[in-house]
Structure 1
Amino acid sequence: MLSILEKIVSVGNTILWQYVLIVLLISMGLYFTFKSNFVQFKFLGEMFKLLGDGASNSSDKKHGVSSFQAFCISTASRVGTGNLAGVALAISIGGPGAVFWMWLIALIGAASSFVESTLAQIYKVKDKSGYRGGPAYYMEKALNKRWMGVLFSILITLCFGLVFNAVQSNTISLAFEEAFGLNRMIMGLTLATVTAIIIFGGVTRIAKVAELIVPVMAVAYIFVAIFVIIKNITLVPSIFSLILSSAFGMKAAVGGGIGAALMQGIKRGLFSNEAGMGSAPNAAATAHVSHPVKQGLIQTLGVFTDTLLICSSTAFIILLSGAYSTEGLTGIQLTQTALSSQVGSWGNTFIAACILLFAFSSIIGNYYYGETNIEFINTKKIYLLIYRLSVVGMVVFGSVAKVQIVWDMADLFMGLMALINLIAISQLGKIAFAALKDYAAQKKEGKDPVFYSDSIEGLNNLECWESSTEAKKA
């Protein structure tokens, strides 16, 4: 029976990830890029400005979660062990050329991230902590398909909230057992305790912890990568040349030519930055902003942060060290070996610390995606309590066990979840483009853009945006 299930899951993953999703995510990314008039490039300066404004307003408790805190929650989930182990795996299988395709998918996918996060802001709802929303909410409110939202909610809760959190705790416990000889059960119980303290505090506490961890871990890791790059500065031009020549098959890539490089780069890039997959919009919806496009632009920057900064840092550490050509080295061991060869034996300890921060931040970010979707299905507190206890249990389970079929099923659920979200945003993209047009027009007039429920024609079921008439009365 188990072998039949394994076969079904394996075939499902192959069809979804190697054919359907890669084609859909790229084609939708290109479509959104052209229809939004290249929003991810045209508004790059505005993204940094908005993120800076959000960071300066993050202490404003009156409005709940700030735009910067929402950015940190989504980045916490995005930036996980995939940035360390996944990139190493892509290079070891697909060769240096995989890095180029990883960059390209981030540049294209950023437009999809803008669309889904802007929609999440438009159709968000009010709750006790401020706001919540995401794909399930715009499926119900904009498409009038609650069943679609419920299906999406179940998939993301099982996938991100439960299984992926077990994967993250598994990685942490293995890394600490390897680096310090720490008992995996003790590590699991410690992780579970800290996780419980944070998640039982609700989204406000999650936002505060994410705001603290994410900038520290990202900056520390990028600085170490910069040190390695400066140390090997004369090799940098040849590394860029190697990436480009391997990407286009002009030079034999390790483990295969253009096909392997393209497949691995695209697959790992999509896994890592999650653009268009429907996860980050759940965090985007929590932010208090005057216009939905503001958060859409900030979340777009999250894709660049994940892939162009953090994944690239891992790629350069590995390629500059030359460790990728060592047979048998793959995944996190390749990253550890590469860094240790550049900075000395403390590289192993540093990677273990990075895994702790990266993976733990993912646990709390992933947890929140489940919470907001549990509340979409049913707002009774008992369901949220059961979910929270299940998350804590999965953190302990993941730290001591690894059941491959569970991990493979999570990939299948994530693929189905992404498919449902892409179907929804393909139909609703025009709303995000209209919101962007409204935002750009107000900016041109020198205003700080403000959004109303009647700013775009034909909007219905909006809970958090008043009409311009109501605003004038107030």
Structure 2
Amino acid sequence: MEATLIHTIILDGVNSLVDWGNNLLWTYILIGLLIGLGVYFTFATKFVQFRLFKEMFRVITEKKDGTNGISPFQAFTISTASRVGTGNLTGVALAISIGGPGAVFWMWMVAIIGMATAFIESTLAQVYKVRDGDQFRGGPAYYMEKAIGSRALGVVFAILLTLCFGLVFNAVQANTIADAFDGAFGFNPLYMGIVIAAVAGIVIFGGVRRIARVTQIVVPFMAVAYLLIATYVVITNFALIPDVFMLIVSNAFGVGEIIGGGVGAAIMQGVRRGLFSNEAGMGSVPNAAATANVSHPAKQGLVQSLGVFFDTIIICSATAFLILLTDVYTVDGAEGIQLTQDAMSAHVGEWAVYFVAIAILFFAFISIIGNYYYGETNIEFIRSNSNWLYAYRFAVIGMVIFGSVAQVGLVWNLADLFMGLMAVLNLIAIFLIGKVALAVLNDYTTQLDSGKNPVFKASHIPDLKHAECWEDEQSS
């Protein structure tokens, strides 16, 4: 009895501390940074997310530029494997249940301006990537060291990302899978966690090429299957779609929501859950962007900008419409993955509970794989040591099992805290060195306008240093 009381006191203390940190970050710091820098980069890039939207689809299908590294599409699927997960099914449901339908509008806004931010950070990751045998590595830790000149800042970011994605976020993914299968099939969460951990272990011990092969197959299959159901629901309820849009917009700006404080909740949840889902500006996706072997850094900037659109405007919107085309979100006690399951059941029948459980298995499992890789590349940045890497891999497997039986609230709050800390560091960094990405974009569009397939060399930008993979004498 006494041990239980002590455990409860400690848990309550941890929850209170995490809540305080989240309130400070998300209320006073991050919303301003995300929206402010998103708008700034949108104008600085001359609306790259609209201007080169068609070009994004062209570059994603290009073959890799040489024998090293992985293809642009494989890099896209690795990043999408991390993006497309519980944020698309559970995160959207949480945003609506806590922030109301208006939260969806702010998820859209963050994604649209976040496409420009995503372009900047992924382009920088390509510029400052490094060779690792026949592969490439890179990301915020690398451009913090090379462009800003602070290895210490890079190490801090690498530690935060490893803890956030490799451990905390993977606990969130496992938690959602276990919860969905418990609700649909009555599976024991602990046993489910052990199975997930075992399969994940087989993949992650196979290295980045195995990760790329798995995600290249699973991501399109999983996304298409889920979107087909959502499309069917939208078509069969097409007459109600204008009402759903009005519901979203009115709750985002309505007078009643302003008086009641609902707009603040909608913005908070929309930004928070939007960032969790599409990761624009967080500094995670650049780790995947750096692995691609392309002829020009801007190509991965465009590919990963498209990833934000695909994740939030397409998949998150599909979940939002599924929920808002019913009234299940108004029922007390319905939230998270169970809200999504209830909504789909209302549309297509009870079998949807099982379908969502299977869908979340695919969504969340590939996120575990993508999240793992982000941690791996940052451990390599801190110290290239096989013992550290093996310790990390076993820690990931352990956190998957822990997450399957942990309390939902604490796991999600910890995810928000680490995600926020990462985003603050990365946003400050890309603001300081964003002019490099802007120069790279200008070089790309100049070549594109002259009818060329853009090819980049470091000498194209005066005084560009530490871009060793792009030196004139280096081959791809």
TM range (shorter): over 0.9
Is 1:35 the equivalent of 2:44? yes
Q: 2:122 aligns with which of 117, 120, 126?
A: 117
Structure 1, gaps ≥5 residues long: none
1:195: Cα distance to partner? 0.7
1:443: Cα distance to partner? 0.5
How far apart, CA to CA, are the structure 1 residues paired with 2:259 and 2:352? 25
1:332: Cα distance to partner? 1.5
Secondary structure at the aligned position of 2:131 is classed as strand
What is the aligned partner in structure 1 of residue 295 from structure 2?
290
Question: Does structure 1 conserve the Cα–Cα contact (< 8 Å) formed by 2:276 and 2:419?
Answer: no
Amino acid at match of 1:324: Y
What is the aligned partner in structure 2 of residue 11 from structure 1?
20
- After TM superposition, the structure 1 = structure 2 runs for residues 73-472 of structure 1, keeping only pairs within 5 Å, are 73-250=78-255, 257-402=262-407, 405=410, 407-467=412-472, 470=473
Amino acid at match of 1:394: M
Is 1:24 the equivalent of 2:38? no
- 1:257 to 1:403, Cα distance in 2 relative to 1, 3 A: closer
Question: Does structure 2 conserve the Cα–Cα contact (< 8 Å) formed by 1:94 and 1:256?
Answer: no
What percent of counterpart residues are identical? 61
What is the aligned partner in structure 2 of residue 65 from structure 1?
70
How far apart, CA to CA, are the structure 2 residues paired with 1:266 and 1:372? 27
How far apart, CA to CA, are the structure 2 residues paired with 1:266 and 1:295? 24
Question: Does structure 2 conserve the Cα–Cα contact (< 8 Å) formed by 1:195 and 1:392?
Answer: yes
Q: Which runs of 4+ in 1 moved over 6 A?
A: none
1:325: Cα distance to partner? 2.4
Question: Does structure 2 conserve the Cα–Cα contact (< 8 Å) formed by 1:225 and 1:317?
Answer: yes
How far apart, CA to CA, are the structure 2 residues paired with 1:34 and 1:269? 21
Question: Does structure 2 conserve the Cα–Cα contact (< 8 Å) formed by 1:95 and 1:256?
Answer: no
Secondary structure at the aligned position of 2:464 is classed as coil
Cα deviation digits, residues 137-187 of structure 1 (max 9, x gap): 000111110000000000000111012111211211121122112222322
Cα deviation digits, residues 202-232 of structure 1 (max 9, x gap): 1111011111111111111111111001111
Secondary structure at the aligned position of 1:464 is classed as helix
Cα deviation digits, residues 241-279 of structure 1 (max 9, x gap): 222222211566998643332222222212211110101
Q: 1:45 aligns with which of 41, 54, 62?
A: 54
Question: Does structure 2 conserve the Cα–Cα contact (< 8 Å) formed by 1:98 and 1:247?
Answer: yes
Amino acid at match of 1:354: A
1:392: Cα distance to partner? 1.2
Question: Does structure 2 conserve the Cα–Cα contact (< 8 Å) formed by 1:92 and 1:255?
Answer: no
Cα deviation digits, residues 365-393 of structure 1 (max 9, x gap): 00001000000011111111111111111
- 1:238 to 1:406, Cα distance in 2 relative to 1, 3 A: closer
Question: Does structure 1 conserve the Cα–Cα contact (< 8 Å) formed by 2:61 and 2:72?
Answer: no
Amino acid at match of 1:19: Y
Shifted more, 390-399 versus 254-263: the winner is 254-263
Question: Does structure 2 conserve the Cα–Cα contact (< 8 Å) formed by 1:129 and 1:203?
Answer: no
1:433: Cα distance to partner? 0.4
How far apart, CA to CA, are the structure 1 residues paired with 2:468 and 2:204? 26
- 1:363 to 1:264, Cα distance in 2 relative to 1, 3 A: same
Shifted more, 91-100 versus 353-362: the winner is 91-100
Q: TM-score, normalised by structure 2?
A: 0.94
Secondary structure at the aligned position of 2:459 is classed as coil
How far apart, CA to CA, are the structure 2 residues paired with 1:205 and 1:399? 25
Count of matched residue positions in the alignment of Structure 1 and Structure 2? 467
How far apart, CA to CA, are the structure 2 residues paired with 1:370 and 1:292? 22
Secondary structure at the aligned position of 1:290 is classed as coil
Cα deviation digits, residues 268-312 of structure 1 (max 9, x gap): 212211110101000000000000000000000010111000100
1:408: Cα distance to partner? 3.3
How far apart, CA to CA, are the structure 1 residues paired with 2:79 and 2:210? 14
Q: TM-score, normalised by structure 1?
A: 0.94
- 1:115 to 1:178, Cα distance in 2 relative to 1, 3 A: same
Question: Does structure 1 conserve the Cα–Cα contact (< 8 Å) formed by 2:173 and 2:367?
Answer: yes
- 1:95 to 1:290, Cα distance in 2 relative to 1, 3 A: same
- 1:456 to 1:283, Cα distance in 2 relative to 1, 3 A: same
Shifted more, 44-53 versus 25-34: the winner is 44-53
Secondary structure at the aligned position of 1:87 is classed as helix
Amino acid at match of 1:172: I
- 1:231 to 1:4, Cα distance in 2 relative to 1, 3 A: closer
